[in-house]
Every structure is written in structure tokens, then in C-alpha cells.
Chain A
């Protein structure tokens, strides 16, 4: 509900006029950071990518023509920024996501979370992107299709393929599927 309200805020702003940077930032920053975290695999790169995203938004917001939702336009920029930040880093063993602290819910098993993050980091950027977008709270499949610039039907097959690849990587990492 909160996410819907937030998105509605940005879209209302778009209909009325070009939204202010503050509105765009406050309503997309959480998701942009989450998206960049999944795409880059570590917090420092995620913050760099998010910073580049908003730098680009600052420069081009005035030219935004409203042909798509502001939010999906920002997510597209974030994906490109994350790709750029990733490409500047030397190819190494997939990084682990460095979290400020482990999830606080005791039911969440740290080892399983770590394996999932590791498996995700081994996927292609395209598959990682679709999984990352679907894991963002409150983003509809229409918005995801718009962000990726593909038909809605294709989103499901891409997600399916990405999920299969993730399952294969998890299996290779010795993830216990039965638990």
C-alpha cells in the first residue's frame, strides 16, 4: 500500500508537471538502492551506482517528456548505472553482499541467505536484473516490463529462465533444496 502510494505520488507529479528532484529522489531512492545492491553485489558499488543514477536524473529531469512513468525511467537509469559501475570493477569471484547487519528475524538462516546472494551474483546481468526487479517491494509486472522495455508476456518467461538459472547455481553451491 505504501509502495503504491509512493509510486502514485511520482506519477501524479508527472501528470501535473515535471516532478521536482526531491519528490523523485524520496520516492524511488529505497528501491534504486535495493536494485543496485542486487546488481552490483556489494554496498559500496550500490551506493556509487545510486549516486550516478541521481546525478543523471538531475541532469536530465528537465528534459523528461513523460513518455513513461518517472519511476520506471529512474529504474532504467539505475540499471545502466549499476552495469557501468560493475564494468569498471575487475572480474573477480562474485562478491558477497556486505550488509550493515544480518537480518534481524531469527527465522532467517544466514547461510541460506548468503548462498542465494552468491548464486545471484553468478547470473548474467539480464537474469540478475529481472530477479532483482521482482524482488523489489510493490513493483508490478507492468512496471517491470516497462523498465526492461519488453512486452509483459516476455517478462514472465525471462523471470522463469532467471529463476531456473538461479536454482541451478544454488544446486551447484550445494544449497539444500529440501529444507
Chain B
């Protein structure tokens, strides 16, 4: 068929692709396509170019979705920063009590490892949180963000369970110490403060924080590890 004679069919091809051709026009087009290689090629090329242009547009739209996913990640991290702040405050109060009691001579003994432990307890989660924040901002697609969030929540879960166990264990130790050492003021009061603060910390983590982390974990879609893709399918050739 010559090019001009096919123009009508080529328009019909476009119309059918976009759902604007009626049954009769579609039947005539099919009959024509059986005999016309040029129109078959036009049809195929039109479909292909459209699919690829659509993929580009969706890629652009994907950036918007990525920002939404990133915002969700930021919300999760914000919650964890709040937990971290509360934990640090509680720990600081507990150690400050002990340091104050010992410095003022109300309680016997030196300042001990308390301040060093408090600083360590501050620095380690702070470094981990900063690293998580950096990973979130550097993630290049939603799969990477979901993968990172799951990893981050898993780490926080482990840390929280560990913290709960330590909190309750320390509380029990101070309780035993208080029973053994007597409950007279002021040493008894200091021990009571520790029993209460560490016990409260352990229980708070177990009752409030762990269930919240488990809930957050359930809400994060499971995605394949983006760092573990076969070379042929890796988006960045990793």
C-alpha cells in the first residue's frame, strides 16, 4: 500500500490504541493490518514509543512518590529521636542523682563509672541515629528507603529489647542491694531512685516502645534487598 492510502488506517490505529475506535472501524483495521506490513510497523512503533514515553513520565512522577516515602521515613526517625531524648533524660537524671549524692557526701563512695557510662549511652545511639538519617537522605529509590527503614527498625528493636533487659536487671540488682544494705536514709533513698528509674525504663521500653516498633515494622513493605540484586537487574550496576 502507498503511504497516503494508509494515512486513514494509521489514524485508526491511534484511535483504537486510545479507545476511540468503534467495532466496525476496528474490524476494517484488522483486515487491513493483515495485508499491510507498513501499518503493522507503524502500529508497533507507536505502541513502543508510547510505552517508553509513559515510563519516563512515570519515572518523573516516581520522584514525587519518593519524596513521600522519604517523608514517611523522616517521621519514623523523628519518633525515634524523641525516644532517644527521653531515654537520655532519664539516664542523665539517674546518674546525676548518684553523682550528686556522692559528691555531697550523702552517699559513700566515689563518682565511679556512672558519668562515663552516661556519656557512652548518649554517644552510641546518637551516632547510630545520625547514620540512619544520612542513609535516609541518600536513598535513591523507595525500595532502598523501605529496606533501610526495616533495617533501622530491626536495629532499634534489638536495642530496645536489650535496653529493657538491662533496665530491669539493674533495677533488680539495686533492689537486692537495697534489701541487703538496708533502707535507711539517705543511701536507701538513692537505691530506691535507681530501682524505680531503671525499672520504669525497662517496663516503659517493653510495654510502649517495643510494641510501637513492631507496629512500625509491620507497616513497612517487604522489598528485596536492593544491595543484593543480580548485576543484570541492578539499577545502578552495583
Contact = CB atoms under 8 A, between A and B. Distances in A.
Contacts of B10: 160, 163-164
B99 to A, nearest CB: 52
Query: In terms of DSSP, what is the predominant structure of the interface of chain A?
Result: helix
Interface of B: 7, 10-11, 14-15, 18, 20, 41-42, 45-46, 48-50, 52-64, 66, 140-141, 232-233, 235-236
A38 B56 contact: yes
Contacts of A34: 56-58, 60-61
A97 B54 CA distance: 13
Contact of A43 (B54, B60, B61): B60
A93 to B, nearest CB: 19
Contact of B53 (A43, A132, A140): A132
Nearest to A152: B20
B46 A163 contact: yes
Contacts of B58: 34, 137
Nearest to A135: B53
Contacts of B63: 33, 43, 100
Given A101-B140, A163-B46, A177-B45, A141 B61 contact: no
Interface in A137-166: 137, 140-141, 156-157, 159-160, 163-164, 166
B174 to A, nearest CB: 54
10 contacts: A30-B64, A43-B63, A100-B141, A101-B235, A105-B55, A106-B232, A116-B49, A135-B54, A136-B57, A160-B11
Given A29-B64, A106-B233, A141 B20 contact: yes
Given A159-B14, A163-B45, A177-B45, 8 more contacts: A31-B61, A100-B62, A101-B235, A102-B235, A160-B11, A163-B42, A166-B49, A178-B41
